[in-house]
Amino acid sequence: MDDLDEKALEHFPGRVVRKDLVNNLKGQMNVPAYVLEYLLGKYCASADGQVIEAGLREVKRILTEHYVRPDQAEWFKSRVRERGSHRVIDKVKVRLVETEDKYWASLVNLQIDRVHIGEDLVRRYERLLGGGIWAVVELTYDPELVHKGELRPFVIQELRPIQLAGGNPLAEVKEKRTHFSRSEWMDLLLRSVGLEPGALPQRLKMLYLSRLIPLVENNYNLVEFGPRGTGKSYVYREISPYAILVSGGEVTVPSLFVSHVGRGRIGLVGLWDVVAFDEVAGLTRLANPQAINLLKDYMESGSFSRGREEISALAALVFIGNINLDVETVLRTSHLFTPFPADMQDLAFLDRFHAYLPGWEIPKMTSNLLTSHFGMVVDYLAEVFRELRRLSFADAVDEHFELGDALNKRDEKAVRKTVSGFLKLLHPDGNWSKEELEEYLTYALEFRRRVKEQLRRMGGVEYWNTSLSYKERGTGEEKFVSLPEQGEAAVIPPDPLPPGATFTVGWDVESGRYALFRVEVALMKGSGYVTTGAVGSAMREAVRTAYDFLRSNIHRFTVERSLEDLQVHFQVVNLMQAKEGSQTASAFFVALFSALVGKPVRAATVVLGEITVQGGVLPVRELAECVQLARENGARRVLVPIANAKDIPQIPSEILSGLELAFYADPKDCLLKALQE
């Protein structure tokens, strides 16, 4: 036992259990974790070794006598017949046979299809109709029960779902949370789902916790693709009796939205808090326009149309699948939504996802990742999670931050829901710090940006602006959130560079081709200017022209600083091993002015063209090649001299797709279109 174990036992007596006991029993009996913990929580919630040993014996006895293993089905049926009744632990499903106007129950492991069940039990536990529930069942045998000439002797007299009832678990958790630090509470949550946080870095902890957000946030749409064996489906299969994991091939539109069972009763989305789709590559029955349109409506608004009716539901949707190639290869050749069937790679459907978890970062499950410490009984935790769904912390962001201009309404909704989910999980008492809130906001923006980046790859200009950011209230400082997997995939990053930096394309006489350069300007005390980097004679001339023009015309611009007492350092970063770059003076002028006023150039912008010492603007030669080079290396905007407007028809449409061209007529016009604000 460690300090966290002692704290958990002190503040949650009877609500915690040693998780290695669950793993040991799980290896012996294929029972959902929440079924085992339901029993272990009743008999083994103690630090006393003797109590645990006695409790384990009782749990094993109960499982031996009452848990139905499929290979023991006939033995259990015989026992029910001989005794007249027997208590069994099994999964119960119910269907309405409309031709008989009668509900029939099925006991999955007992392998009995037609078991009598009262309508009162069906009404009390509607999830029996949508995938079934694990329960403690009082099963009786009546040899005189004949239905339509066939003996149907088995009857469910009573059932009790495997879940904790009574009390106010959320109120208890809110009160107890104050006794734990954020780090301790996070570790307790991870132990509660069977993981050992001591083996995990902070980022991995946050990724694992992200899988729990659908359990606490209504109508949350999550996708996670990654290698096999990382536990993607475990949470939705084992942790909560309010979540259902369905294989892709079994899902149909009626079963998901309005089932034929029960005379048009609402489907899975109305019966479960979370509907998780395993192996999305098999979602062939949903890969059609009707299903996709229903999914889009539901994922956007939490409702769908059934005839003239509008039906609302609260279920979160989780889509899980495998990426068989390494992510770098996928990003070079395609996009990260490839596990979906081709017909489901609909941009409007994919845009509904609030978060995309990078499953490739999560390691395969091994024994060292499993905890042997105490964690909350998952049944108890599931009740807390269900109560948390009634709360919303979506507006918490506004206290300290505002979302960047690149976020549209759908992006904002996604980010707010993810932040709300983290706050519910880690701060159910409603107390958090600004720094903690900022951490959750960063993850939320990353998860949403991952969705947007794939849409940009698939849809081009419509989704061009993926530079998601947030600003700190008070200081106005803007921070952009990047994606770890993108690295330096694009030479021109999608986020703004610091003031004084920009990109340009210049002609290299020696190689006979165009090359991409990054221009950077630094200001320091002194006078004049210096140039460093890949600077040939043509580029030195461009630097001098830009410097002299601004120095002699600075009175025409609103600049508080003077060049007279500053030394300007121009550095040219050679990105393509070129020796020279002519027709680039406009870029040096923009970079110098950007550094003087402290305003960055707009994101992913390339400045083309040449200015003269008196402010004339010269067109570039071979505009199509310049634009193509900029586009291939990540540019989203290209500033072009107005004299090149006549050359636009020569540029293939596929190069212009997703690219913004801005024409400028003079140096001032160039600045207005190059700089932010």
Q: What is the pLDDT of residue 255?
A: 85
Q: In the predicted model, what is the mean pLDDT of residues 218-241?
A: 92
3-class DSSP state of 113: strand
pLDDT confidence tier of residue 378, bands split at 50, 70 and 90: confident
Reply yes or no on whether the pLDDT at 165 is more than 70. Answer: no
Reply yes or no on whether the pLDDT at 487 is more than 70. Answer: no
Q: Can you name the residues that pair with 222 across neighbouring β-strands?
A: 318, 355
C-alpha–C-alpha distance, residues 50 and 38, integer Å: 20
Query: What angle do the packed helices 19-28 and 49-66 form, to 10 degrees?
Result: 30
Other beta carbons less than 10 A from residue 208's beta carbon: 21
Of the listed ranges 25-29, 233-237, 617-621, the one predicted with least confidence: 25-29
- For 200, the token pair is 């995990």
Query: What angle do the packed helices 33-43 and 49-66 form, to 10 degrees?
Result: 130
C-alpha–C-alpha distance, residues 11 and 45, integer Å: 12
Q: What is the pLDDT of residue 1?
A: 84
C-alpha–C-alpha distance, residues 212 and 428, integer Å: 14
Using a 10 angstrom Cβ sphere, with 0-12 exposed, 13-18 middle and 19 or more buried, the burial of residue 299 is: buried
Distances from the Cα of 556 to the Cαs of 523, 542, 562, 667, in angstroms? 21, 21, 12, 11
Reply yes or no on whether the pLDDT at 463 is more than 90. Answer: no
DSSP code for 12: S
Q: Can you name the residues that pair with 533 across neighbouring β-strands?
A: 572
Q: In the predicted model, what is the mean pLDDT of residues 171-196?
A: 95
- This prediction has a pTM of 0.71
- For 647, the token pair is 């050359």
Q: Provide, for the chain, the percentages of residues in helix, strand and coil under a 3-state DSSP scheme, each rounded to the nearest 5.
A: 45, 25, 35
Of the listed ranges 240-244, 346-350, 397-401, 418-422, the one predicted with least confidence: 240-244
613 membership: H or E segment, kind and range = none
Q: In what order do the strands lie in the sheet with 243-247?
A: 243-247, 274-278, 316-322, 221-226, 355-358
3-class DSSP state of 5: helix
Other beta carbons less than 10 A from residue 276's beta carbon: 24
- For 401, the token pair is 């931050």
Strands 303-306 and 309-312: antiparallel
Q: Can you name the residues that pair with 515 across neighbouring β-strands?
A: 506
Per-chain mean pLDDT for the chain:
89
Q: In the predicted model, what is the mean pLDDT of residues 567-586?
A: 88
Q: Which of 287, 314, 281 is nearest to 299 (CA)?
A: 314
Q: In the predicted model, what is the mean pLDDT of residues 339-358?
A: 95
By the 8 A CB rule, do 194 and 23 touch?
A: yes
Q: What is the pLDDT of residue 460?
A: 56
Name the one residue in this structure whose structure tokens are 């460690």: 2
Beta strands in 541-642 (DSSP E): 566-574, 605-607, 610-611, 617-618, 637-641
Q: Can you name the residues that pair with 480 across neighbouring β-strands?
A: 469
By the 8 A CB rule, do 285 and 252 touch?
A: yes
pLDDT confidence tier of residue 262, bands split at 50, 70 and 90: very low
DSSP code for 266: B
**Amino acid code (one letter) for 578:** A
Q: In the predicted model, what is the mean pLDDT of residues 473-478?
A: 89
DSSP code for 463: G
Q: What is the CA radius of gyration of the chain?
A: 32
Query: What angle do the packed helices 667-674 and 585-597 form, to 10 degrees?
Result: 60
Distance of CA 481 to the CA centre of its chain: 14
- Per residue in 512-553, pLDDT (tens digit) is 778 899 999 999 999 999 999 878 899 999 999 999 999 999
- Per residue in 492-509, pLDDT (tens digit) is 888 889 999 999 999 988
3-class DSSP state of 232: coil
Q: Which residue has the higher pLDDT, 1 or 375?
A: 375
CA-CA-CA-CA torsion sign (7, 10, 16, 18): positive
- Per residue in 624-670, pLDDT (tens digit) is 889 988 987 889 999 999 999 999 998 878 778 778 999 999 999 99
DSSP code for 286: G
Q: In the predicted model, what is the mean pLDDT of residues 239-246?
A: 89
**Spatial CB neighbours of 125, under 8 Å, sequence gap ≥ 6:** 133, 135, 159, 161
Q: Can you name the residues that pair with 529 across neighbouring β-strands?
A: 568
pLDDT confidence tier of residue 164, bands split at 50, 70 and 90: low
Q: What is the pLDDT of residue 238?
A: 84
Reply yes or no on whether the pLDDT at 230 is more than 70. Answer: yes
Number of H helices, E strands in the chain: 24, 28
3-class DSSP state of 511: coil
Distance of CA 509 to the CA centre of its chain: 48
By the 8 A CB rule, do 452 and 383 touch?
A: no
3-class DSSP state of 102: strand
DSSP code for 235: I
pLDDT confidence tier of residue 332, bands split at 50, 70 and 90: low
C-alpha–C-alpha distance, residues 489 and 492, integer Å: 9
pLDDT confidence tier of residue 259, bands split at 50, 70 and 90: low
Three-class DSSP labels, 171-228: HHHHHHHCCCCHHHHHHHHHHHCCECHHHCCHHHHHHHHHCCHHHHCCCCEEEEEECC
Distances from the Cα of 286 to the Cαs of 244, 271, 272, 290, in angstroms? 17, 19, 19, 8
Q: Which of 483, 238, 486, 228 is nearest to 363 (CA)?
A: 228
Other beta carbons less than 10 A from residue 475's beta carbon: 7
Q: What is the pLDDT of residue 168?
A: 81
664 membership: H or E segment, kind and range = strand 660-664
C-alpha–C-alpha distance, residues 366 and 196, integer Å: 11
Phi and psi (nearest 5°) for 492? Answer: -95, 110
In the chain, the percentage of residues whose pLDDT exceeds 70 is 96
User: What fold, for 501-674?
Assistant: Ribosomal Protein S5; domain 2 (3.30.230)
C-alpha–C-alpha distance, residues 548 and 663, integer Å: 23
Domain boundaries, the chain: 70-161, 162-488, 501-674
Distances from the Cα of 676 to the Cαs of 366, 423, 590, 598, 599, in angstroms? 49, 34, 12, 10, 7
Q: In the predicted model, what is the mean pLDDT of residues 226-232?
A: 92
Q: What is the pLDDT of residue 177?
A: 96
Q: What is the pLDDT of residue 167?
A: 64
- For 186, the token pair is 């996070």
Calculated CA dihedral for residues 573, 566, 674, 576, nearest 10 degrees: -10
Name the one residue in this structure whose structure tokens are 């950007």: 594
Reply yes or no on whether the pLDDT at 558 is more than 90. Answer: no
Q: What is the pLDDT of residue 261?
A: 41
Reply yes or no on whether the pLDDT at 55 is more than 90. Answer: no
Distances from the Cα of 460 to the Cαs of 277, 355, 541, in angstroms? 28, 20, 37
Q: Which residue has the higher pLDDT, 463 or 590?
A: 590
CATH assignment of 162-488, among 3.40.50.300, 3.30.1330.120, 3.90.105.10, 2.60.420.10: 3.40.50.300
Q: What is the pLDDT of residue 350?
A: 97
